[in-house]
Amino acid sequence: MQRVRRAKENKEVVSIAYAGNIVEVWEHFHKENIFIDLGSDQTSLHNPWAGGYYPVGMSYEESNRMMAEQPELFKVKVQESLRRHASAVNQHTAKGTYFFDYGNAFLLEASRAGAEVMSSDGIHFRYPSYVQDIMGPMCFDFGFGPFRWVCISGKQEDLDYTDHLAAQMLEELLETAPDEIHSQLTDNINWIKAASENKLVVGSKARILYADAEGRMKIAGAFNKAVREGRIGAVVLGRDHHDVSGTDSPFRETSNIYDGSRFTADMAVHNVIGDSFRGATWVSLHNGGGVGWGEVINGGFGMLLDGSTEADRKLKNMLHFDVNNGIARRAWARNAGALSAIDRAQKENEQLQVTIPFLVDDQWLDQLI
């Protein structure tokens, strides 16, 4: 990265290209003494033995053949590669590279393969997940997560109008929002205003942006009003499972919950049940999404906005709960952003009552005992 930066400063164009397995790329950069400022992964190690990760030094065809005909040997080869992969990453971090795990089970499977990825306590990984250092404290703790909608008319003009409404609603929120969430709102206003130019839509006329509970309710309310007035066709709301509340995943979505409860699966189940009672059109509870079977529970929903006053009532009840259930869980773990967000939510809605844990100072306890 520094080499490329220096080249840009000198108005030169440098391209680093390397064909091969990602392990070989890490090793090549180390050999050439190319410093990497920031490194991560988005492996598919939630499915390591069936094509999610291919061994270094083997062709795609060879790997597929071994996977089918010699699955035990294939597993051995994958784990050998993981040890080599982790070793290459460690070489870079020893020189100052900041590395984080995306959360698709790289560190988890590397640890199971015997790679040197554990911290000195033998319990935690030596590298954080990006939810721990980035997404959690920046977005999830404040209730910001990937809010989705689909214009079921299939018309581009409907999607364009929803983009306009979403930007307008977020700009209104920005006027009175506390400073701690200004950057989140500003980023998403900039994103939604430029979304159409990026031409990311393929097939369904769908959009996604990061919004908190108040933002989701305000945007959804504007959509439902537009449907009622005949400006657009019906809209279906949803969200990603990689969100504030919908997923219990100790190695990704809930990895920044440090009160010991990140290994429980209650939040996603609560969301599914709570959303169903509060007006979701459908709900789903499933295992394995993005992290691996047995490692995660996901709870999802869909909500139809048909322009009715009933939809107005449902969207407020359901979206409020769907987000704040997760903020409450994060507040119980005493995450600073979540404590602030849940306090704000309770002031905005008197019916919401969340018990905040009172933790006694450790020094006081030591003196008492």
User: What does the pLDDT average to over 152-156?
Assistant: 94
- Considering the chain, what percentage of its residues have pLDDT values greater than 70? 93
Burial string for 233-260 (b: 16+ CB within 10 Å, else e) reads bbbbbbbbbbbbbbbbbbbbbbbbbeee
Asked if the model's pLDDT at residue 5 lies above 70, the reply is no
Give the H or E element holding residue 150.
strand 145-151
pLDDT exceeds cutoff 70 at 192: yes
pTM of the model: 0.84
Which pLDDT score, from 0 to 100, does residue 18 have? 37
pLDDT band at 200 (very low <50, low <70, confident <90, very high): confident
Placement of tokens 């119980």 in the chain: 332
Structure tokens at 78: 């994958």
pLDDT at position 360 is: 64
Q: What is the pLDDT of residues 227-260, one digit of tens each?
A: 999 999 999 999 988 899 989 988 888 889 988 8
Residue 177 pLDDT more than 50?
Answer: yes
- Give the number of C-alpha atoms closer than 13 A to the C-alpha of residue 339, restricted to the C-beta side: 9
Tell me the pLDDT tens digit for each residue of 6-45.
434 444 433 333 335 889 999 999 999 999 999 988 888 8
For the chain, domains (ranges, CATH) are: 2-127 (3.40.50.10730), 136-348 (3.40.1770.10)
Q: Which residue has the higher pLDDT, 260 or 174?
A: 174
Per-residue pLDDT of 262-321, as tens digits, reads 888 889 999 999 999 999 999 999 887 777 778 888 899 999 999 999 999 999 999 999
Query: Which DSSP state fits 38?
Result: E
Q: Quote the pLDDT of residue 235.
A: 98
Length of the chain: 369
The residue ranking higher by pLDDT, 74 or 12, is 74
